[in-house]
Amino acid sequence: MAHTTFTPEGHKTESFRLLSGHKIPAVGLGTWQSGSQASHAVFTALVEGGYRHIDTAWEYGDQNEVGQGMKRAIHAGIERRDLFVTSKLWCTELSPERVRPALLNTLQELQSDYLDLFLIHWPFRLREGASRPPKAGDVLEFDMEGVWREMEKLVKDNLVRSIGVCNFTITKLNKLLGFAELIPSVCQMEMHPGWRNDKMLQLCRMNGIHVTAYSPLGSQEGGRDLIHDQTVERIAKKLNKTPGQVLVKWGLQRGTSVIPKSSNPERIKENIKVFDWVIPDQDFEALSSISDQKRVMDGEDMFVDKSEGPFRSVADLWDHED
Ligand code: NDP
Ligand code: 1BO
């Protein structure tokens, strides 16, 4: 259930309570592919848009810029303790001894003493310097339990407030739940009306794990153009909202937090104006019934090696569950 609050500047906002006891703001700013614009985007989001949640990752190569944007916002009067900052452990760092150094490097890049949420970015370990697509020997064995134990220690040492995973399947999440001392607070997954992923949402709900929906607008170049989807456009027009707002609101009404990316100041501000209206049931159902269900982020270019394996197809990556 979402909780409504107001920022000191008077922006209405919502958040969800996590298993860790901390709260995650319902809408966050995605920063993948924001590049040199990340600093300005983060500053605009925090100071003008009323955002308090920023999603980044070492792999995005923009953590220094994200940190600069946060620092400027803090100088403008926003308190670090009111921010919720997520980063992710990249695939080359998925061995127990690399977890803490990777986190410390991320903290340095972000100019922060702690992270609010640290996620395993993808459940596949890559050799440093791995090619895309991977060559023989690029995809290594992943010691999930050893890595998770190190993530748990980061929480105990107050370097990270909550931990979680991304891009897990039912099989992998059940495996993790079998040994976790700290249950993941968050599972971040691709979710939008073109890829609902109901099965994972249900498993997370049953275990009290909060879900964050990534690529809520269908992602970027080469993604799925949901902004111009007929059903989305029709409902946006009817509700006098933009397609982007309808897509964000659809995710919120499913109980997920949502992290739309934009580096355009007007769209950044537009995407978070979603707290004082609802998508009526019948329109929500129409959005939830789009028949062409397909992942955008299927991981093929990063992890599939058709001839050498260990993952020879996209279906292998997703444990043949789709
Ligand atoms: P999104 O679904 O958020 O879509 C972003 C695209 O939509 C950009 O091209 C953006 O352009 C455009 N856009 C933004 N707002 C609007 C609007 N109101 N109307 C029309 N177009 C709009 O894509 P992402 O794949 O970036 O996903 C969001 C975030 O999720 C990422 O940035 C990242 O933080 C996270 N993520 C996590 C993953 C993981 O593995 N854990 C994988 C993928 C994403 P412009 O900037 O010009 O506005
Ligand atoms: C390669 C990383 C995808 C966005 O999280």
What ipTM did this prediction achieve?
0.99
Once rounded to an integer, what is the mean pLDDT over residues 38-52? 97
* pTM flag (> 0.95): yes
| Cis amide bond preceding 184, omega within 30 | no
| pLDDT of 11 above 90 | no
* Residue 101 token pair: 């150094």
Choice from 84, 191, 220 to test ligand 1 binding pocket (greatest atom count within 8 A of CB): 220
- Residue 70 CB partners (closer than 8 Å, separation 6+): 42, 46, 54, 80, 83, 85, 110, 111, 112
- Tell how far the Cα of 234 is from the centroid of ligand 2, in angstroms: 30
Nearest CA to ligand 2 atom 2: 59
DSSP assignments along 209-229, one per residue: -EEEEESTT--STTS--GGG-
pLDDT band at 109 (very low <50, low <70, confident <90, very high): very high
Strands, DSSP E only, in 51-181? 53-55, 84-89, 115-120, 125-126, 139-140, 160-166
Select from 18, 23, 110, 22 the least CA-distant residue to 65: 110
Q: Which ligand gives the minimal distance to the CA of 251?
A: 1
Residue 189 pairs in a beta bridge with: 213
CA distance 313 to 307: 10
- 100 pocket-lining for ligand 1 (C-beta < 6 Å): no
- Tell how far the Cα of 33 is from the centroid of ligand 2, in angstroms: 9
pLDDT band at 135 (very low <50, low <70, confident <90, very high): very high
- 124 pocket-lining for ligand 2 (C-beta < 6 Å): no
Q: For residue 119, with 0-12 CB atoms within 10 Å meaning exposed, 13-18 middle and 19 or more buried, which class applies? A: buried
- 262 pocket-lining for ligand 1 (C-beta < 6 Å): yes
Beta strand 257-258 with 210-214 is: parallel
| 121 carries a ligand binding annotation | yes
Backbone torsions φ then ψ of 238, nearest 5 degrees: -60, -40
Once rounded to an integer, what is the mean pLDDT over residues 101-130? 98
- Tell how far the Cα of 52 is from the centroid of ligand 1, in angstroms: 17
